[in-house]
Chain A
Amino acid sequence: MNIWLVILLAGLATFATRLSFILLLDRIKVPDWFRRGLRFVPVAVLSAIILPELTSPNGSLFLSWRNPQLLAGAVAILVAWKTKNVLLTIAVGMAALLIFQAVLGLC
C-alpha cells in the first residue's frame, strides 16, 4: 500500500473514531447505564494513563521508594488535592522530581 494512502486512511480511521459518538449519541438509543457511565470516563482513562507513568517510568514496574517519579507523583497528588491548582501542581511536581532524582542519584 502506498504510504500516502496509509496516512490518509489512518487519518480517516482516527477521525471517525473521534467523531463516532459526537455524531451518533443523539440519533441512537443508548441504555441508561451507558449515559451514567460517561461521567467516569475522564477519571478512569486519565488514571489509567497516570499510574503506569509513575510506577513504570522506564517501561518496567519499579515499585520502590527509590523511584523518583513515584515519589514526585505522590507529592503532586497531595498538592492537587489540597490546592486544586493546575500550575502549582505541575511546578511542585517537576521540582519534586528533579530533587528526588538528584538525591537518589547521590545515595
Chain B
Amino acid sequence: MPEKTRKNEFWSGVRDEAPILLGVAPFGLLFGALAISAHLSSLAAQAMSSIIFAGSAQFIAAQLVGTGSSGLVILMVVFVVNLRHALYSASVAPHVKDLKTGWKLLLSYLLTDEAYAVTITHYNKEGDSENRHWYFLGAGLTLWSAWQVSTAVGIFIGARIPASWPLDFVLPLTFIALVVPALKDRAGVAAALVAGVIGLLAFGFPYKTGLLLAALIGIVTGLVIEGKPK
C-alpha cells in the first residue's frame, strides 16, 4: 500500500471522527447549560471545556462547584474520573514513540475517549507509518472544535435539544462499530465480554471507577486466555 500523505491522513481522521460529533454535540450543549446553572461564569465554563477538555469529568466538576464542594475534592474527583486515560496513553504510546516531544504533548492534550476510539482502530487496522499521527491530529482537532463550539452554544443559548431525540445513542453505536470488527480471536472476545459484564455490574460505582475496574479485569482476562507466548 502506498504511503498516505499528511493531508490524506489528516482528512481521514476528520472524516472518521465526524459521525461521533452527532453524539458529542448534545453533551457539549448540555455541559454549557449545566455549568451556567451551577453559577460558573461564561468564561469559566468555556475554560473548563478548553483547559480540562474531558466531558464526564467536566460534568461532575460543574455539579460539584454547584454544590459548593472544596477545590481539593473537585481535583481528586477529576483525577479519578480521568484515570482511564492512562490506559489510552499506554495503548497509543508504542505508535507515537518516534514523534518529537511537541507532537507527543499536542496529541496527549487531544487524547479523549472519542479521539482514542477511532485513532487506535486506525492504527490497528492500517499499521504504523510515517504520517499516521496526522490522522490522530485530524480526529482530535475535530472533536476539540465540536466540543468548544457546542459548549459555547450551550452557554449562550442553553440546551434546547428535545429529550425525545436519542442522539446520545450515537456514542455507543460508534463504539460498537469500532469494537466488533476488532474482535478477531478468543482472547479479545473474552476481554470484551468480561469487561462489558463487569462494567455493567459495577456501573453504580462512583466517579467511573467501575469502568476502570472493568477495563483492567478485561485486559487481565485477555492476557490469561492468550497464555504465554511460545
Contacts and interface: CB of A to CB of B under 8 A. Distances in A.
A15 B53 CA distance: 9
- Most chain A CB atoms below 10 A, which of B90, B104, B193: B90
A6 interface: yes
Interface string A12-36: 0111011111111110000001111
Interface size class of A (residues with CB under 8 A): 35 or more
The 9 closest A-B CB pairs, nearest first, are A1-B71, A44-B218, A48-B199, A11-B51, A51-B196, A40-B222, A89-B177, A48-B214, A80-B180
B11 interface: no
A73 to B, nearest CB: 7
A10 B62 CA distance: 12
B108 A3 contact: no
Nearest to B48: A7
B157 interface: no
Contacts of A56: 200, 203
Interface in A40-89: 40-56, 61, 69, 72-73, 76-77, 80-81, 84-87, 89
B169 A97 contact: yes
Contact of B191 (A20, A25, A40): A40
B90 A25 contact: yes
